[in-house]
Amino acid sequence: MDRSRWCCVGIAALVFVAGLGALAESCTVTVQPGESIQEAIDAAPNGALICLAAGEWETHLDIGKTLTLRGSEDGTTIRGHMHDVPVVRVHARGDSEVLVILDALTVSGGRGWDGPGLLIEGSPRVTVVGGTIEGNTEVGISIRDTAEVTITGATVRENRWDGISLSNASQVSITGSTIEENGYGIAMYHSARADIAGSTMSGNWQDGLSLSDSAQIQVADTTIRGSGNDGISLWNDTKMTFVDSTIKGSAGDGVRVMNSAHAAVANSTIAGNRNDGVALWDFAQATIENSLIKGNGEVGVALWDASQLTISDSTIRENGRDGVVPWDSSQVAITGSNVTGNGWDGIVLGRSVTVFIESSQFTRNERYGIALYAYPCFATDWVFTGCVTGLGNTIPDLDEDDGNVEGGVCPDELGFLVTEEGGELDRRK
């Protein structure tokens, strides 16, 4: 380990755990292979720096006091061997203050749901700096209760179920880290909170990121790629902000928003996912701003049930089927956007949707630019009973430059969408 690399990180961790006092390079105690780390922890005073020599320990550790546990630059591994016992447990109860830094450690060998690699529970504040959490049979890092955790420059990989699991009212801040080849990359429950920045989540065989209950997350400058199911799934009353980030190559949807979940996507790319780029169900709500939705296998953005969506200043292009599909009683507003080159329609409107479209371009789509899913546009008995309003759009016909292959709008009653004064098609009655 390059000590200069960790200098600033160590100072940041010191601020987080201010009760540790000055960041000491001199070790309170150094533990060699064959010696007991737990005995050193038990004997250490609050604020101790326990240094571990290079090597591997087959042990389980219990930390309930303020200290730093630092590994060697040549590699220090803590490997568990018991079932349903955490490899490393950090805990605090009641009003006790426990501030812990885990620096440059590899933690492996956790077995069973009650035996994660790293369990943080109660009310401690913990900083994980560098190191690797890998090869645990169920969960890599489990954060519970009201624990507050910072993870910087770490790798969480090859844990069979969750890479990182958060529950209750726990909180985590993750920066500059890699979360790969787990079941779920990160799973959040209850009212847990998370911030992720400058990180990569790749090759997780379920969802890259999954939230349920009332969990909330902010994601920035992060890439989620190659998830075995959805890149991100949001359930129930969860909330997500996704900024300056990328989701690509998921085997399911890029982003799936369910129930009454909320998603805000800005300055981001959602591309090359097998199913839909973004899919909203039930009463979900989302905004997409200044983003690119490209090359997804099915629909760029799909809305079902009573979901609501606002799209502004974005590009939705070259998706395998339609660019945008509002269905059922969903509502969508599209402004200042470009919907182009999609394999079917730019936007197809089904059933009783409510749609507003302004100052947007619908070009070079393989069927219509904008169409109602009703006769005569499609050979169907379905009837459109929704409402469409808008103005100032560019929707070229098949014989115009950048024209849509089967026509600009269908039926012709939607022609007001290209006029400056605009208009309305209301079939709700």
Neighbours of 196 (CB within 10 A): 26
pLDDT at residue 429, as a whole number: 77
3-state secondary structure 11-68: HHHHHHCHHHCCCCCCCCEEECCCCCHHHHHHHCCCCEEEEECCEEEECCEEECCCEE
pLDDT at residue 22, as a whole number: 36
- Which residue intervals of the chain bear CATH 2.160.20? 1-206
Is residue 376 reached through a cis peptide bond, with omega within 30 degrees of 0 on the bond before it? yes
Residue 259 DSSP one-character state = T
Integer Cα distance of 184 and 119 in angstroms: 17
Integer Cα distance of 44 and 84 in angstroms: 27
Both tokens of residue 425? Answer: 């098609």
CA dihedral sign, ordered 387, 392, 393, 399: positive
Phi, psi (rounded to 5 degrees) for 316: -125, 105
pLDDT at residue 192, as a whole number: 98
User: Rounded to a whole number, what is the distance in angstroms from the first to the last CA of the chain?
Assistant: 70
Both tokens of residue 307? Answer: 């979901």
Identity of the residue numbered 21 = G
Q: Are 272 and 298 in contact (CB under 8 A)?
A: no
Q: Are 321 and 299 in contact (CB under 8 A)?
A: yes
pLDDT in tens, 349-403: 999 999 999 999 999 999 999 999 999 999 999 999 999 999 999 999 999 999 9
Ranges under pLDDT 50 in the chain: 1-24
Residue 5 DSSP one-character state = H
pLDDT at residue 93, as a whole number: 86
What does pTM read for this prediction?
0.92
pLDDT at residue 95, as a whole number: 81
* Domain range 1-206, CATH class: mainly beta
Q: Which residues contact 315 (CB under 8 A, 6 or more apart)?
A: 291, 292, 293, 294, 337, 338, 339, 340
Is residue 116 reached through a cis peptide bond, with omega within 30 degrees of 0 on the bond before it? no
Q: Are 155 and 129 in contact (CB under 8 A)?
A: no
